[in-house]
């Protein structure tokens, strides 16, 4: 949905084919949003829709060790506790306001890729023709498999059931650890049902989990099943850890769980998927419009693959630390001591919350490739936040030097210009305070593509060409 919205904002004709018949999600799944995802939603002017429905709190944890980000230099120095079924409903509400076509209750059954497009086969027998196809179809992605994209990684070492059920005996609520991992029971918001997360004895059981499986797992771990009955949701998750070898094969791309799966510790999966979409949307739009060459799409894999690779690494570490025996308890205690120090806490917290993402766009000012802070600017029309100018998902050149000193006329159809003043500090998560630039080129995803200072204007037109295509009237953006 995030990708569809990004494409629609860029004026691209986009359709979503979704197996489910409506936006309702069975079960609650992910527990919330990290800081950078809230920022990304803020960049599109929709953060308040989510913030008003959830609870702002510190959500970054590493294997039970809290990582407070309240001293981080961001407007959203917290995360948001909000279940995925609500997140998806709110997102669907926004997407419905945009020109996005939905084919609900239909499945992609295959596709054929040609030089000029992709023929997508749909379960109702229809076939849709598109210029590009993006598989956002989850960890078991048919599109990834049909494209022949490898999904290397590690098989599951542990399997858990997650369920929402009623109980006839009062259960022992709370989180417990044992030598195989964590299990937990908690009351749902309705005060009636209970959410259960419980380890299964056997890893790799085939088929959908049943109430009997849940009862058996509870008896095995807790000695009783508390009389579980009337499930509204039973699902299974494992620590299978895999990542697509390539996020693109010709006209087919992957985003979200289709590109990376891992254990849910740290609560990063949904967040990384939303941020994949925001990295890809504007690039794909420019390629479709032929203002940028197809090679721009290669930067999607180059930038996003390392981000998920790091999440795979920290979730594998987190899975190991989630077990409990004397040695692992000692290791967790050591890690906990390290994470009570400022520098290690900041580094890991910035990684889990997505605030440290740094795309390698070359040497230069520390802002280059990092997220643009949401500064409070002063403009001729009054105060304005940087993120407000990103609502339309277009690039922005922020000129903080002499007004009129920068001319980007040949790119004005793709890049907005703000003439403003800013007197405050420039502070980045983990990096700390950096020199104030006099101009910054910001991509639609909020990452900085070029930084100017008093002595340096060079490189701006190269950066504009790289990220937004050739100047208006030229043909250098056209696909070779």
Rounded to the nearest whole angstrom, what is the least distance from the CB of residue 362 to ligand FAD in the complex?
A: 30
Of the pair 73, 256, the CB lying nearest ligand FAD is at: 256
d(CA 162, CA 365): 46
Q: How many CA atoms lie within 13 A of 407 on its CB side?
A: 3
Answer for which of 35, 43, 268, 292 binds ligand FAD (CB under 6 A) is 268
Kind and range of the H or E run holding 16 = strand 14-18
Rounded to the nearest whole angstrom, what is the least distance from the CB of residue 392 to ligand FAD in the complex?
A: 24
Q: Counting Cβ atoms within 10 Å, is residue 132 exposed (0-12), middle (13-18) or buried (19+)? A: buried
d(CA 180, CA 335): 19
Rounded to the nearest whole angstrom, what is the least distance from the CB of residue 161 to ligand FAD in the complex?
A: 10
Rounded to the nearest whole angstrom, what is the least distance from the CB of residue 83 to ligand FAD in the complex?
A: 9
| Beta-bridge partner residues of 197 | 162, 184
| Beta-bridge partner residues of 55 | 81
Characterize 245-279 residue by residue with b for buried, 16 or more Cβ atoms within 10 angstroms of its Cβ, and e for exposed.
Answer: ebbbbebbbbbbbbbbbbbbbbbbbbbbbbbbbbb
Rounded to the nearest whole angstrom, what is the least distance from the CB of residue 223 to ligand FAD in the complex?
A: 24
d(CA 393, CA 413): 13
Nearest C-alpha neighbor of 280 from the set 396, 114, 150, 134: 134
Neighbours of 451 (CB within 10 A): 24
Task: Report if residue 264 touches ligand FAD, rule: CB under 6 A.
Answer: yes
Site residues for ligand FAD, 190-229, by CB under 6 A, read none
Task: Report if residue 267 touches ligand FAD, rule: CB under 6 A.
Answer: yes
Site residues for ligand FAD, 110-139, by CB under 6 A, read 136-138
Contact of 432 with 373, CB cutoff 8 Å:
no
Answer for which of 23, 73, 171, 273 binds ligand FAD (CB under 6 A) is 273
Size of site (CB under 6 A) for ligand FAD: 26
Nearest C-alpha neighbor of 446 from the set 271, 303, 278: 278
Region near ligand FAD per CB under 6 A, out of 23-31, 66-74, 339-347, 470-478: 23-31
d(CA 388, CA 187): 39
Q: How far apart are the first and last CA of the chain?
A: 30
Task: Report if residue 29 touches ligand FAD, rule: CB under 6 A.
Answer: yes
Rounded to the nearest whole angstrom, what is the least distance from the CB of residue 396 to ligand FAD in the complex?
A: 28
Binding-residue pattern over the window 58 to 97 for ligand FAD, x denoting contact by CB under 6 A? --------------------------x-------------
384 SS3 class:
strand
Q: Counting Cβ atoms within 10 Å, is residue 231 exposed (0-12), middle (13-18) or buried (19+)? A: middle
d(CA 418, CA 396): 7
Of the pair 171, 267, the CB lying nearest ligand FAD is at: 267
Answer for which of 61, 102, 233, 237 binds ligand FAD (CB under 6 A) is 237
Rounded to the nearest whole angstrom, what is the least distance from the CB of residue 333 to ligand FAD in the complex?
A: 25
Task: Report if residue 271 touches ligand FAD, rule: CB under 6 A.
Answer: yes
Of the pair 267, 429, the CB lying nearest ligand FAD is at: 267
Neighbours of 434 (CB within 10 A): 16
d(CA 443, CA 397): 9
The token duo for 267 is: 């609560």
Of the pair 19, 242, the CB lying nearest ligand FAD is at: 19
Answer for which of 6, 213, 257, 374 binds ligand FAD (CB under 6 A) is 257
Task: Report if residue 17 touches ligand FAD, rule: CB under 6 A.
Answer: yes
Of the pair 208, 343, the CB lying nearest ligand FAD is at: 208
Q: How many CA atoms lie within 13 A of 479 on its CB side?
A: 10
Answer for which of 14, 108, 339, 449 binds ligand FAD (CB under 6 A) is 108
Position with the least CB separation from ligand FAD = 256
d(CA 478, CA 135): 25
Binding-residue pattern over the window 362 to 401 for ligand FAD, x denoting contact by CB under 6 A? ----------------------------------------
Of the pair 228, 464, the CB lying nearest ligand FAD is at: 228
Answer for which of 11, 13, 20, 337 binds ligand FAD (CB under 6 A) is 20
Site residues for ligand FAD, 411-450, by CB under 6 A, read none
Task: Report if residue 328 touches ligand FAD, rule: CB under 6 A.
Answer: no
Site residues for ligand FAD, 136-165, by CB under 6 A, read 136-138, 142, 162
Q: Counting Cβ atoms within 10 Å, is residue 466 exposed (0-12), middle (13-18) or buried (19+)? A: middle
Where on the chain is the footprint of ligand FAD (CB under 6 A)? 17-20, 29-32, 84, 107-108, 136-138, 142, 162, 237, 256-257, 264, 267-271, 273
């Amino acid at each position: 949905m995030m990708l569809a919205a990004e494409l629609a904002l860029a004026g691209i004709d986009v359709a979503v084919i979704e197996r489910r018949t409506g936006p309702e999600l069975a079960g609650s799944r992910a527990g919330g949003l990290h800081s950078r995802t809230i920022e990304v939603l803020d960049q599109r002017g929709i953060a308040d829709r989510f913030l008003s429905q959830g609870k702002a709190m510190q959500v970054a944890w590493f294997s039970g060790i809290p990582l407070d980000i309240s001293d981080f230099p961001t407007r959203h120095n917290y995360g948001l506790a909000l279940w995925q079924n609500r997140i998806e409903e709110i997102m669907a509400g926004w997407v419905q306001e945009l020109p996005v076509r939905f084919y609900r209750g239909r499945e992609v059954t295959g596709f054929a890729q040609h030089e000029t497009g992709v023929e997508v086969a749909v379960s109702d027998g229809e076939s849709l023709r598109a210029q590009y196809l993006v598989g956002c179809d989850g960890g078991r992605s048919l599109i990834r498999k049909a494209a022949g994209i490898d999904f290397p990684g590690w098989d599951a070492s542990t399997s858990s059931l997650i369920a929402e059920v009623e109980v006839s005996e009062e259960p022992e609520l709370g989180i417990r650890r044992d030598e195989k991992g964590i299990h937990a029971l908690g009351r749902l918001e309705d005060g009636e049902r209970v959410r259960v997360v419980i380890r299964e004895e056997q890893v790799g059981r085939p088929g959908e989990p049943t109430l009997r499986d849940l009862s058996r797992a509870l008896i095995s771990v807790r000695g009783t099943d508390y009389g579980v009955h009337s499930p509204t949701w039973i699902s299974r998750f494992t620590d299978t850890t895999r990542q697509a070898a390539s996020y693109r094969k010709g006209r087919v791309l992957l985003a979200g769980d289709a590109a990376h799966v891992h254990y849910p510790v740290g609560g990063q999966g949904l967040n990384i998927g939303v941020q994949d979409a925001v990295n890809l949307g504007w690039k794909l739009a420019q390629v479709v419009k032929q203002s940028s060459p197809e090679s721009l799409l290669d930067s999607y894999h180059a930038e996003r693959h390392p981000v998920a690779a790091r999440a795979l690494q920290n979730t594998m570490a987190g899975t190991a630390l989630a077990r409990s025996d004397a040695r692992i308890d000692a290791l967790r205690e050591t890690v906990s001591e390290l994470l009570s120090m400022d520098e290690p806490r900041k580094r890991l917290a910035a990684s889990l919350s997505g605030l440290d993402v740094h795309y390698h766009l070359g040497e230069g000012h520390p802002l280059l490739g990092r997220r643009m802070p949401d500064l409070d600017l002063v403009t001729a029309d009054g105060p304005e936040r940087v993120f407000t100018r990103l609502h339309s998902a277009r690039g922005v050149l922020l000129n903080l030097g002499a007004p009129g000193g920068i001319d980007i006329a040949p790119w004005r159809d793709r890049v907005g210009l703000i003439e403003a003043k800013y007197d405050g500090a420039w502070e980045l998560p983990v990096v700390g305070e950096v020199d104030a630039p006099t101009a910054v080129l910001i991509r639609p995803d909020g990452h900085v593509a070029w930084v100017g200072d008093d002595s340096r204007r060079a490189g701006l037109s190269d950066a504009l060409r790289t990220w937004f295509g050739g100047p208006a009237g030229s043909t250098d953006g056209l696909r070779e």
